[in-house]
A and B are shown apart, each in its own frame.
Chain A
Amino acid sequence: MIYLQLIFVFIKVGLLGFGGGMAIISLIQGEVLSRGWMTETEFVDIVGISQVTPGPIGINCATYVGYTVGGIWGSLLASMAIILPSLVIMLSVCYAYDKIKDKYQDNRVFQTCMRIIRILVVILVAHAAITLVTPTTFIDWKSWTIFGFVFVAMLLPEIPNLKSKIIHLLGNPILLILAAGVAGYLLYFF
């Protein structure tokens, strides 16, 4: 039965998906192709749409695959199944974190561990950013101009002496994305 298969596949992906969105998408790809649920081209299209639509990429991808394979119920089951392992594991992590934090917040080893993890996070996010600098995203100087504007606008509120209301508003990611969409329309549509 297709619904049971969907639940099984996406619980498995949620359970084994370390490393966030793109790691999870490669897992989904393996399952979807080996089961013959769709072709490579269909899957690549779905990944593209998952990246340019709002929300977590893994949820977008799971919903889309679920819909293609099992209609609306398939999409709901797939997105619930991919969350389920997170729910169990992350709640356990939360309980452990609260306990450890109170006991060991001033502990050197704990501090060092959290610091190392923080450094790794920065490296991981940096890697994700670099990975996204692709020819399909950066097609010409206009793309780089948009990149530059948004990058600077995001970092302006970080400068201590510049904390005015306007600069705070400039650093709002939602407004920046909407402005970039308008810029794309004006720069590429005409």
Chain B
Amino acid sequence: MFLKLFWTYLKIGTFTIGGGYAMLPLIEKEVVDNHHWIDAKEFVNMIALAQAAPGLIAVNSAIFIGHKIYGWRGVVACILGAVLPSIIIILLIAMFFREIKDNPLVEAVFKGVRPAVVALIAATVIRLAKRI
């Protein structure tokens, strides 16, 4: 279970660009639709609690799920999974940023990714509004 939680949050941490709100659709897909760890209504409650508490929504939700599924070991697994990709990728970028900053290929890819991120967040609004 430790590895399963770690792996799930590692996936979420690796493949979500745009921070907490952009992570919500993927977190929902994984913990509600794929693993059935919580149901859709409890997912909205979790977001509410994760937002009401200080700190990062993605990390707070990782703590909530980890604690619910596997106690303190789950918390460790989910947090590590959620933040390790960030730390590794940012460290690499921080070391090599000057070389890739003005690369037209990198810039072109991100020009495509940015509106898609906004669309993911906008779609989250509708999916959440359906469950009020």
> A residues engaging B (CB < 8 A)?
14-22, 24, 45, 49-60, 63-64, 67-68, 72, 75-76, 79, 82-83, 85-87, 89-91, 93-94, 97, 114-115, 117-122, 124-126, 128-129, 132-133, 136-139, 143-144, 146-151, 154-155, 158, 172-174, 176-177, 179-185, 187-189
Provide 7 A-B residue pairs closer than 8 Å at the C-beta atoms, listed in order of the A residue.
A52-B18, A52-B113, A59-B56, A114-B48, A121-B47, A121-B51, A129-B118
Q: A129-B122, A143-B111 are in contact. Are A86 and B93 (CB under 8 A)?
A: no
Asked if residues B107 and A83 are in contact (CB atoms below 8 Å), the reply is: no
Residues from chain A with a CB closer than 8 A to the CB of B73 are none
Q: Are A90 and B55 in contact (CB under 8 A)?
A: yes
- Minimum CB–CB distance from A76 to chain B (whole Å) comes to 7
Q: Please judge, given known A-B contacts A83-B59, A114-B48, A150-B116, whether A54 and B110 are in contact too, CB under 8 Å.
A: no
Q: Mark B18-58, 1 if CB is under 8 A from A, else 0.
A: 11111111100100000000000000110111111111111
Question: A129 to B126, alpha carbons, bound, how many Å?
Answer: 11
Known contacts A97-B49, A126-B125, A54 near B112 by CB under 8 Å? no
Q: Is the CB of B19 within 8 A of A90?
A: no
- A24, A50, A57, A125: the one contacting B128 at CB < 8 Å is A125
Residues of A within 8 A of B1 (CB): none
User: A56 touching B90 by the CB < 8 A rule?
Assistant: no
Closest to A144 in B: B115
A85-B55, A155-B126 known; A63+B91 contact, CB < 8 A: yes
Question: With A115-B132, A151-B122 as given contacts, are A188 and B18 in contact (CB-CB < 8 Å)?
Answer: no
Residues from chain A with a CB closer than 8 A to the CB of B14 are 54-55
Contacts A118-B132, A122-B128 given; indicate if A53 touches B121 (C-beta within 8 A): no
On whether the beta carbons of B63 and A125 are closer than 8 Å, the reply is: no
Q: Is the CB of A86 within 8 A of B119?
A: no
CB nearest to A155 among chain B residues: B123
Q: From known contacts A49-B97, A52-B114, A184-B110, infer whether A19 and B90 are also in contact, taking CB-CB under 8 Å.
A: no
Interface contact A173-B90, CB-CB below 8 Å = no
Query: Which residues of the partner chain B approach A64 to less than 8 Å between Cβ atoms?
Result: 90, 93-94
Residues on the A chain within 8 Å of B132, using CB? 115, 118-119, 122
